[in-house]
Amino acid sequence: MATADHTVHLKPETFQALEAEAERRHVQPDELADDLVRQQLPQVSNRRTQMREALDALREFSKTMPRVDAVQLIRDVREAESDRGLPWPPS
């Protein structure tokens, strides 16, 4: 991925702390600064990704639901209504 250099102005004490932490981690200050900034920014997500994640979550949720035989369910409801004396319209 191509990168472009940009200048960020830090207070001297902030830059000193950044340099010290970068040295401790054995990385360049620019690399550490980039990493720290990325950690604090919200994750950018497009609508398609959000929709896919929602559908994946629904798919996983549906695996926890009991299997339902819709035809048998309608038959059971019709029978229960009939037992109560309520007429069910013919299909």
Average pLDDT over residues 6-32: 95
Domain parsing of the chain, residue ranges: 47-83
pLDDT at 8 over 80: yes
% of the chain at pLDDT higher than 70: 90
Q: At what angle do helices 29-40 and 12-25 cross, to 10 degrees?
A: 100
Structure-token match 């059971």, residue found? 76
Structure-token match 């920014």, residue found? 41
pLDDT at 31 over 50: yes
What pLDDT sits at residue 48?
Answer: 83
Structure-token match 């990168």, residue found? 3
* pTM strictly above 0.85: no
Whole-number average pLDDT of the chain = 87
pLDDT at 46 over 90: no
pLDDT at 55 over 90: yes
